[in-house]
Chain A
Amino acid sequence: MNTPAITQAENRPPASSSIDRTTREGWLFEAACRAAAWSSFAFLTIILGTIFFEARGALSLRFLTSFDSADPARAGILAGLWGSFWMILLTGAISVPLGVGAAIFLEEYASDTWIVRVIRTNLANLAGVPSVVYGLLGLAAFVRAFGLFDKGGGVERLTGLDVEAIVIAGIEINLPFGRSIFSGALTLALLLLPTIIVASQEALRAVPSSIRHAALALGATRWQTISGQVVPTALPGMVTGIILALSRAIGETAPLIVAGAFTYVAYAPGGIDSPAKLVTDPAGILKAPFDTYTVIPLQVYSWIEKPQTAFHQLASAGIVVLLSLLLVMNGVAVYIRYRSQRHLKW
């Protein structure tokens, strides 16, 4: 944006003190702006530097393959790793279909009726609700089910039965869900929903309407147009947005603490503590979503809160693991965006 006008103004020798002051003002302001912009780079470097400096020596294969322990020399992140794995899988399975469906409705079907306006305003406001409030919703609605299944609660009064669990396809599901991964995943799914909807809406909006018109003109129905043309075209944008949203969920701590994650867990959900067991132990897979759990950032938090400095080292090692996961997910998102832009034809 260097127009000739200003280059001249800046290079002109100062004719009077007022011009001198003006140039100095301009120079100072630009320097302040430049310092501010580069400060974020500096902060990032200092933050990462501190973490990696603290984590040296604590990072090892043993750290990745052992459970938490009261002895810092033997404690590891395995429970958190598996907890985060199940958490993201379930959160994605719940929030992605809901979010993408909502985005398709709002972008492709919705006309300007009052209910659509209410949904839009509501989405804008939901995005600003603090995450701990979602955590409390998870605690009240999913962990406790508003007390409906308690002794003397609504279900017992209505049916006369004291329902504690329900068995579906051989899996025993506690009612209410209690402090399980499933409760946490439902909570995070609600938290992510506005983000996923907005990201998917943007991707859908970027699809040129000529594609829709062409499909409709060939006699395709609305849904055929959307499922056959619009969504496939918008897919890379959607996937990028969804991965970024899910990577935010990996770092979320507060709502999961409130919604009942545990700080000290020395087992993997469902007893699946190695990738091989995902194949050999199908019963464990079905049990895992309803097991108690911890996640990586919560494990980190519990180590930070301990007085011994050895645990603080473990915390920074845990942060390194967390950041690596985020980096991988962001890398995938960036790669998908790059690839889709390369093949863009219109």
Chain B
Amino acid sequence: MSSEVAPARQPTSANARMLERRWTGRRISEWGIQSLLFLCAFASILTTAGILFMLVSETFYSPNPSDPAFFQRVSLGQFFGDSAWRPNFEPQRFGIWPLVSGTFLITFIAGLVGLPIGILSAIYLSEYARPRTRSLVKPSLELLAGVPTVVYGYFGLMFVTPYVIQPILGGLLGLEVEGRNALAGGIVVGLMLIPMVCSLSEDALRAVPRSLREAGYALGSTKFDVSVKVVVPAAFSGIVASFLLALSRAVGETMAVAIAAGIRPSLTLNPLESTQTMTSFIVNMTMGDVEAGTMPYKSLFAVATCLFLITLVMNVVSQWVMRRYRETYQ
């Protein structure tokens, strides 16, 4: 067979070379289609470029001298040194800390709620659950993941605060609970994280080969020992990555927080008070008509830059953990 194919593969005559290089209609259309598909893929690069251009030109350096950027009007010292955030009232104050503290307070509470429940569910689904249980729990997790974020906010405002936080912390302990508070916001964001942590961690746990578990059992370990001391450490990088991704989502979560936790920027770590996060500031500010070029408009982008950098760092670290500490099994 090779003796028949070989001559055709090595075009020696000028004629054959021309045949290969000729731009037939079909070849042109094949090339055109490939270029078109490449442009589709390139759209994602343009999106990133657009986001970066917008953030940089409104926050750090404006190409238009008559319309200076945020940090060409407000010093970095004021941004990181002031303790109040009030871009839309006189006297204007531009200290980012109230928004950052609000964001991290919510993220911390959400992590306390969502991460343990998420990882325990994942261990249950991957190590303990029978197929029948799985077929009930898995869809409810998927539905929970599909519920829009306004619904979580509504739930926090109308159920968690009046029927959970008020009776326990307000009624029993006599603490003062505001109608919109960071605790309710954190709890509902935590609920939102459960499906994400669970499904990512479960993937990591399932990727652990069966032989490791069986080796554990052969040594006389109990199921608890095998799950906690063999499978979880083996899937550790995936679990950490899922935690980081979930927390970065909590940082970027908007509507649930804007509804349940309120919109008053305050430098406090009291979870029973109303607070404002970076995201809810952006949404609340744009609810009205913000005129382009004004300081409130610029401050939107300054806050968005902070938000973008924080979530970017968390995502990159999560990907790095994933790659760096991944155990490879054959």
A residues touching B (Cβ–Cβ < 8 Å)?
Answer: 1, 3, 5-6, 9-10, 22-23, 25-26, 29-30, 32-41, 43-44, 46-47, 50-51, 54, 97-102, 104-106, 109-110, 118-119, 122-126, 128-137, 139-141, 144, 146-147, 150, 190, 193-194, 197, 221-223, 247-248, 250-254, 257-258, 260, 263, 297, 300-301, 304-305, 312, 315-316, 319, 322-323, 326, 330
Contact = CB atoms under 8 A, between A and B. Distances in A.
Most central of A25, A47, A125, A319 by chain B CB within 10 Å? A47
Contacts of A44: 140, 143-144, 147
B228 to A, nearest CB: 7
A132 B254 contact: yes
Contacts of A301: 150, 153, 255, 259
A260 B43 CA distance: 23
B33 A223 contact: yes
B286 A258 contact: yes
Contacts of A33: 120-121, 123-124, 127-128
19 contacts: A3-B217, A10-B223, A30-B128, A46-B159, A50-B159, A51-B155, A101-B39, A102-B43, A102-B44, A105-B41, A125-B48, A128-B248, A133-B307, A221-B30, A253-B150, A254-B282, A258-B282, A301-B153, A301-B255
B51 A247 contact: no
Given A44-B140, A101-B39, 7 more contacts: A6-B217, A36-B117, A102-B43, A119-B44, A124-B315, A126-B47, A133-B252
A25 B308 CA distance: 43
Interface in B271-329: 279, 282-283, 286-287, 292-293, 300-301, 304, 307-308, 311-312, 314-316, 319
Contact of A40 (B43, B54, B55, B121): B121
Contacts of A326: 146, 148
B174 interface: no
A144 to B, nearest CB: 6
A38 B137 contact: yes
B94 to A, nearest CB: 18
Given A125-B312, A130-B308, A193-B43, A32 B120 contact: yes
Given A37-B121, A40-B194, A43-B191, A131 B155 contact: no
A330 B146 contact: yes
A69 to B, nearest CB: 20
Contact of A41 (B137, B159, B308): B137
Interface string B117-154: 11011011101110001001100110110111111111
Interface in B237-268: 245, 248-249, 251-255, 258-259
A40 B195 contact: yes
A51 B293 CA distance: 41
A140 B53 CA distance: 10
B199 to A, nearest CB: 11
B176 interface: no
Interface string B172-198: 000000000000000000010011001
Given A30-B224, A98-B43, A137-B54, A122 B151 contact: no
A119 B50 contact: no
Q: Which of B42, B225, B286 has the most CB of A within 10 A?
A: B286
Contacts of B282: 132, 135-136, 254, 258
B222 interface: yes
Contact of A105 (B40, B129, B136, B252): B40
B68 to A, nearest CB: 14
Contacts of B283: 132, 135, 254, 257-258
A251 B146 CA distance: 9
Nearest first, the 6 closest Cβ-Cβ pairs linking A and B are A251-B148, A130-B252, A101-B40, A26-B224, A36-B120, A33-B124
Contacts of A23: 222
A139 B155 contact: no
Nearest to A124: B319
A108 B136 CA distance: 37
A150 to B, nearest CB: 8
- Could you say which of A39, A260, A316 has the most chain B C-beta atoms within 10 Å of its C-beta? A39
Nearest to A3: B217
B227 interface: yes
B78 to A, nearest CB: 22
Nearest to A110: B41
B165 to A, nearest CB: 14
Interface string B55-77: 10110000010010000000000
Given A98-B40, A124-B319, A129-B51, A297 B45 contact: no
B54 A130 contact: no
B36 A3 contact: no
Contacts of A125: 48, 312, 315-316
B158 interface: yes
A315 B154 contact: yes
Contacts of A194: 44
A254 B222 contact: no
B150 A297 contact: yes
Given A26-B223, A32-B120, A33-B123, A135 B286 contact: yes
A119 B45 contact: yes
